Amino acid sequence: MSSYRNPLAAPTDLEGWVAEGPAGVEHSGGGMVLSSTADEAALVAAGRGDHAHFTFWCPEVFDADVEISWDFRPLSGEGLAMLFFAATGTGGRDLFDPSLAPRTGYYPQYHSGDVSAFHVSYLRRKWPTERRFRTCNLRKSPGFHLVAQSADPLPGAEDADGHYRVRVTKRGPEVSFAIDGLELFTFHDDEPLGAGRIGFRQMSPLAAHYRNLEVNPLS
């Protein structure tokens, strides 16, 4: 597969992208701003606060060996930012196979349902424990398995100075993660995942800016 480049700067750049959950998308500054459109307070009051979050899927299927990178800047609000990658349906099915259970942005549908994927959470500010001790977490699903962890160097929105280049590299059994060229962890996978899709996930009330998405195949 050839390289994929998307500035994420206009609605036409997002044709075919699939939102699951209350994803709000706006464009500014040469990229896209993602935020939740849900009334989280009302959902919390109804005991459904975890339904205020969303996932936004790129329509492309990428090779097993890839480097994925994008510019990221937190704009406001505590929350969480995550990337799904190598995502498919379980049993060799496509991620959008109609035989899979419906998905609405509710996290257990992704980590313990019929989705096979890696997911790296690289800005974790939703809960007090995450703000007290900040880490980047790599999990493998189904099963919510924590397979790698590192310190999180990203500032919150109040201290962010421009954008930060986030990079995931997946080659054979090796998965590595870096921000602004600083390698944060490497994981060796005894049962490597193959080709699949990527998707951005956010937890409310975070608003964040994304631009210059690139996915390059690795020979």
What is the tens place of the pLDDT at every residue in 31-57?
A: 999 999 999 899 999 999 899 999 999
For the chain, domain boundaries:
4-217
Q: Can you tell me the mean pLDDT for 134-154?
A: 97
Q: How far apart are the first and last CA of the chain?
A: 10
Q: Are 168 and 175 in contact (CB under 8 A)?
A: yes
B/e letters for 58-70, b = 16+ CB within 10 Å, e = fewer, are beeebbebbbbbb
Q: Is residue 195 pLDDT above 80, yes or no?
A: yes
pLDDT, residue 1, reads 73
Q: What is the pTM of this model?
A: 0.96
pLDDT, residue 54, reads 98
Percent of the chain whose predicted confidence (pLDDT) is above 70: 100
Q: Can you tell me the mean pLDDT for 150-167?
A: 96
Residue 42 φ/ψ region, left for φ over 0, alpha for ψ in the -120 to 50 degree band, beta for the rest: alpha
Mean pLDDT rounded to a whole number for the chain: 96
pLDDT, residue 49, reads 86
Q: Can you tell me the mean pLDDT for 71-97?
A: 97
Percent of the chain whose predicted confidence (pLDDT) is above 90: 97
Beta strands in 15-63 (DSSP E): 18-20, 23-28, 31-36, 54-57
Q: Is the bond preceding 22 in cis, omega lying within 30 degrees of 0?
A: no
Q: Are 83 and 198 in contact (CB under 8 A)?
A: yes
Structurally, what CATH architecture does the domain formed by 4-217 represent? Answer: Sandwich (2.60)
Q: Is residue 219 pLDDT above 80, yes or no?
A: no
Tokens of residue 175, six digits? 């998965």
Q: How far apart are CA 95 and CA 37, in angstroms?
A: 24
Q: How far apart are CA 190 and CA 74, in angstroms?
A: 34
Q: What's the order of all strands across the beta sheet hosting 197-203?
A: 18-20, 54-57, 197-203, 80-89, 115-124, 135-141, 145-151
Q: Are 188 and 97 in contact (CB under 8 A)?
A: no
Render pLDDT for 6-29 as a digit per residue (tens, 0 to 9).
999 999 999 999 999 999 999 999
Q: Are 28 and 128 in contact (CB under 8 A)?
A: no
- Inter-CA distances, 174 with 45, 122, 140, Å: 43, 18, 13
Q: Is residue 89 pLDDT above 90, yes or no?
A: yes
Q: Is residue 122 pLDDT above 90, yes or no?
A: yes
Q: pLDDT-derived band of residue 137, with 50, 70 and 90 as boundaries?
A: very high
